[in-house]
Every structure is written in structure tokens, then in C-alpha cells.
Structure 1
Amino acid sequence: LMLKTLSENATYAPSKRSLNWLKLKKDYIKSRLADAIDAQVVGVKSGVGSRAGLFGSFLLAVPEHGAGQGGMPLMKTISWVGTGLKKDELRDFKEKYGHCTAAGPEEIGVDISDAAAKKVTAWLKDGPIWEVLGYELSESTEHSCGLALRFPRRIREREDKDVQSATSFEAVWDIFRSQRPRTEQEE
């Protein structure tokens, strides 16, 4: 569904974002998730096209407390996210975190399969915590959490949180078990 402002200058501009025309997606209204997830950015992929020279998508992980080493939790991957960021936010992210790289997932305590790890351009030390929403959580063999966030989008950075206060692996499974059941129309 597209929403259009009634102001005089509400012309449609292809490939441009504005408040004149807004897209309202079904999952914005009928999300099966009961809550947002706060996850840490642990890896990035290089951008292509209009995002060339920037990071294009971001690998998110949640902490499994008590499973890591040296007092740090083991990080379980849950989703790649690339939507919900403006171009200036992508530039700011690269400037702020582009130099905070790790040699590999082991260095930052990320549990990930070899196949999934090959998709990562760079691993991040102390990546930010992002609040993300999606349509639903579904079971997944791709991510080490055992679940994947479908149609994820970044809502905001949570500067008030660190990895210890992010949504835990256990809490993500609780959210999965409590999400609204699918209706016949959604099957």
C-alpha cells in the first residue's frame, strides 16, 4: 500500500526516498513478533551499486551467556540486515567502525559455519547494538542461533546497551515460541 501526502509538492520521484510517498508493508502492521530484538553487528559485507565503497549488509548476532570464554558470551548469528539505514548512516558507520576489524570470528567469539563465514567481508570488534524488527522468526540452519529473522530492518542504534544487555539467545527462542501463530491466509 502506498501513502501519499496531500501537500502540493507531493510528486513521485523514482529511486528517491521522501516523506511525500510512503510504502506501508503488511509486516509493518501484522508482524508475528511480540518484540524487537537488540543484536550486535559482528560482520559486514561490502556494498555494491549505490552502496559501493560502503558496507551493504550487516551480520547480527545475539549472546549466549555462559557459553563463551573469558567472561564474554558466545555470539550466535541470527540475521543479515541491510534495510533501515540511510546513505549518510552507512557513511557514518564505515567511518566509525571501518577500522575496528578482527582477524576472524574466533577472535570475537562468533559461532558461525564455514559456509556462512565466507560471506563476510570483515569482522567487527565491539560492533554496535542495533534494535531490529522483522516479520517473524523462523527456524534456520544458516544461522548458529537456529533461528533467522525474516524481512529484518534496522530501527535504531542502541547506544545505551552493550553485548551483555542485548537480547540473549535464550530470549530470542522465547520470542520465537511466543510469536503470534500464522493464520490460514499467511500459510
Structure 2
Amino acid sequence: MMKMPTGSKPEETMVAGDPLAQLGKGGAVLMVCRTCGKKGDHWTSRCPYKDLAPQPEGFSDKPAASETTVAASGTSKTAYVPPGLRAGATERIGSDMRRRNEENSVRVTNLSEDTREPDLLELFRTFGAVSRVYVALDQKTGMSRGFGFVNFVNKEDAERAINKLNGYGYDNLILRVEWATPRAN
């Protein structure tokens, strides 16, 4: 029996009518092209026969007639229609809720590195119901980046918190508390 060097494989069986199979005798492994199905020295993306190959059944540039969507206006379109605009979609109030939360949102700066969300919640809930607290953390160190946001349920509570806590000494630093500006999309 012939001993083969480590890492080599025995040659594949050759197909008699395959002219490209002769190229594999030099030790190169021949791949089977997914487009034409022939063994050769080309990959699927560089197949010389790709223009002659039949188009696969699963892919089409244009949707079939049964795949057309009906927009809320009732006209037939082939373009994508978001779920919120399709016929029968319920009215969403997400944008109104976001606007309301931004009106009641307070930005707190000059926080110490040790400040966490429960600390801010404890400080701000004395002024009214708090719906959300966020402290920006550094991803690498896990320490506070020095600012955070507090969302109040009522705007009056947020205004009272700004008036009382702006300039307040907290954790050996003087806090700056102001209205949060809406995020630009």
C-alpha cells in the first residue's frame, strides 16, 4: 500500500466525459459549481455558464400576482406597505407617548462615577411619580459617564425637581438639572 503524506486526500473518482476533471490531477481539489453543476476550477460567482443556466424557481425579480399587497387606500401595489398602514391596522399612539415623555424628561449632569439608576430614582421620586430612570454607563469600565435622564409622569413634578435640585450638592458634586432636549432622529 502506498503511504500518503499527511494532510493529503486520495483523488476523487473522475467522470469519463468531464474535460475539466483532468485539471484536478495536479493535487488541486475541484469544486462543484452550484450554478452549472460541473466540476471545475471556477466558483459559483465566476461561472462561465451562469448566463446559460436556468433561473432557480425560488428567486424572482418581480413578485407573483398573488403576492401583491393592498394598501390602506384599497389600491393594489407591488411595493412594501408597513404593517401600521395596511388595511385593518389599529391606530398607534407611540409617537404621542414619546412626545409626552420627552416633555416630562429631565437631564441630570455632573454625576459621580459611582451613581447608578436606583440612586437617581431615590433622589427624584420625592418630587413625584417617576416613569423611567437612565444613567449612561461606559461600556468598558461600567462606570457612570456623568449624566442621566429622569422621566416624570407629570410635568409639574419635573419642573419642581428642576427648581429644587439644580445646583444641589450630591456625592461631593454639584448637580445640573435641566429640561432634556428631544433627540434628533
Structure with greater proportional helix content:
2
Structure with greater proportional strand content:
1
Structure having the higher Rg: 2
Structure number with higher relative contact order (C-alpha < 8 Å, ≥ 6 residues apart) = 1
Shorter-chain TM range is under 0.3
Q: Normalized against structure 2, the TM-score is what?
A: 0.18
